[in-house]
Each structure stands twice: as structure tokens, then as C-alpha cells.
Structure 1
């Protein structure tokens, strides 16, 4: 099964379990923004692709409230638990793209400290 099909299945499962809030960013937006980063996060090296960085910057711009940051964190953590992500790529993703995300794209992030 391709990574994209796996992410689609994971997305459906994640969206089913994430509490919905009118003020928080949706998991579908988070996944849409970070989808171009999957190859880089799982097996890439060096600089992330431009399309990935465009998504990272878009996500950074969309996560301005505490509710947005917590929702994005929960989504990223859920998806990262289902995909093997290179920790060094997850930690460096935002800074490599010249952006600031509320969390690393990692399954080990503590979403209770995001805000």
C-alpha cells in the first residue's frame, strides 16, 4: 500500500476521533498542508522540497490561536504514530522551511504543553 493511501486511511480514522471545535483548525487542513512532506519526513535528507515548505508555511500561518495549535498537534501526533518518521527530519522541518510550527512533526510531541 502506498504512503498516500495509508495517509488517506489514517486521515479518516484520525478525523473520526478528534473532537471538533469551530475555532480550531481541522485535521484535514493539517494533513493537506503537510502531505507534500511525507517523503521527506519518512526517508528524505537535506532540504525539504519547496512544495513541502509551502505547506509548512501555510500551516504555520493557520495556527495562530491556542486551540489551533493544540488541534494541529493532536493531528500531527496521531498521523506520526502511524507512519515511521525520521526524528531528525521531524525536528528540523519547520526551521528548514523558515517557518515556526507549534510542534515537531513527531509522534513523541507532548500536546499538553502546546498553547
Structure 2
């Protein structure tokens, strides 16, 4: 029974890998860019750190097309759900605070599929 279950899980994983889009970015990379910003986004710092702003700038240049921008946006939203105490105003103001406008909003309520 365990062998059948393992084979089924491997088959499902392989079908996902084959069907998954081939983006030049990953959610892990998006998370790494945004990780230094957590203290600012949760109110632990008044201003974003230099490392945070470096991550925002890197994130801005990562997506190369609409699909990748939508993907990165969804990665950010997914990661944000795992962080308690996010301050909506800090989230909305992060790109301006880092002097780096992003090609999409980082609001929790933003529809990533609306990104052109």
C-alpha cells in the first residue's frame, strides 16, 4: 500500500513539474528579497533597512513579463499570509519608502491577475 501511495505522489509531482510554467523567478527568490523587510512591515522599524530596499530593488527587476509579475505578486501575497502583525500602511508604503516603485501593488487585497 505504501509503495502505491508513493508511486501516486511521484506521478502527481511529475505532472505538476511538467505542467508548471517555466518562470525565471521562484517564490523562494521573492521571499529572500522581502525577508529583510519584515521588521519594517510589522512596525518594528520606522524606516526600511538598506538590505530591505536592496531586496525591493532586486525584486523590481526580476519579473520580465506579465506572467512573471503576476507570479511574483502572488508569491508576496502568499508569504504575507504567514507573517503576523503586518501593518497595511507599511506594506503599501514600502516601494515609496525605498524609492523603488514596483510594477504591481503589494497590498493584501490587490488582485494580482489585474497586472498588465
TM-score range, shorter chain: 0.7 to 0.9
Matched, 1:74 2:48: no
Distance 2:87 2:20 in 1: 29
In the alignment, what sits opposite 1:29? 29
TM-score by length of 1: 0.75
Cα offset, 1:81, TM superposition? 1.8
User: Mind listing any 5+ residue stretches in structure 2 that lack a counterpart?
Assistant: 1-18
Matched, 1:109 2:114: no
Cα offset, 1:105, TM superposition? 3.2
Give the 3-state SS of the residue equivalent to 2:79 in structure 1.
helix
Q: Does the 8 A contact of 2:30 with 2:72 survive in 1?
A: yes
Give the 3-state SS of the residue equivalent to 1:43 in structure 2.
coil
Cα offset, 1:24, TM superposition? 4.7
Which runs of at least 4 in structure 1 moved beyond 6 Å after TM superposition?
Answer: none
> 1:15-36 deviations in whole A, cap 9, x for unaligned?
xxxx842135210110010010
The structure having more radius of gyration, on CA atoms, is 2
In the alignment, what sits opposite 1:50? 50
Q: Does the 8 A contact of 2:39 with 2:45 survive in 1?
A: no
Check 1:70–1:87 CA distance in 2 against 1; reply closer, same or farther (3 A cut): same
Distance 1:44 1:68 in 2: 30
**Cα-Cα RMSD:** 2.0
TM-score by length of 2: 0.74
User: Mind listing any 5+ residue stretches in structure 1 that lack a counterpart?
Assistant: 1-18
Q: Does the 8 A contact of 1:80 with 1:105 survive in 2?
A: no
How many pairs were matched up?
Answer: 98
Cα offset, 1:66, TM superposition? 0.7
